[in-house]
Amino acid sequence: MSEAPPSVDRCTWCGSLPEYVAYHDEEWGVPEYDDRALFEKLILDGFQAGLSWITILRKRENFRRAFAGFEPAAIARFGDDDVERLMQDAGIIRNRAKIVNTVKSARLWLDIQEKEAGFAALLWSHLDGGRPVQNEWESDRQVPAETPLSVAMSKDLKARGFRFVGPTIVYAFMQAVGMVNDHVVTCHRHGAVRALARKA
């Protein structure tokens, strides 16, 4: 697991835990356009509700194993027996409502893939020109918990039948998948993420 030298400036939220540092340096804020990967992240952010992200991060591989690699076509076929199996899986968060929602969300995802331009296109269409928002925060304390953009995306997802997609969860999702660059300006990743957005 790679880590930048301790002297490198980072967003303060990631602290010094190796898992958080690697996630911050390698994933958080990188623009994601893959339909399946966006589905996985949205589901995991929903499971995070009421918990810390480090809890989910440490269980992420267990989640991937339990939910068939987050392949929506496979999850959509899950039945009551699968839900009960997952409720006995100590490697994940055993919340029945969130497990059932994952199965329903997979079916909704398939419907979007079939009838629309795709899940990624749907989500990114909420951004002006499909371009990531480049913020210029000087401190983590300035970063909002939600924005009008996350409220709009939340409403759209809820109207389609998704659950655990409130504006705060959606904003955390948008930060993670690079729809917004919320690395503070002093963070060594701020400029790198901005450059990735330009390429995209």
Q: Which residues are annotated as a binding site?
A: 11, 24, 183, 187
Which residues does the annotation place in the binding site for Zn(2+)?
Answer: 11, 24, 183, 187
Let me know: does 180 contact 132? Beta carbons within 8 Å: yes
Let me know: does 181 contact 32? Beta carbons within 8 Å: no
Report which of 119, 137, 134, 113 is spatially closest to residue 178, judged by C-alpha positions.
134
Q: What does DSSP say about strands 133-134 and 180-181: parallel, antiparallel, or unpaired?
A: parallel
Tell me the backbone φ, ψ of residue 28, rounded to 5 degrees: -65, 120
- Cα 40 from Cα 25, distance rounded (Å): 20
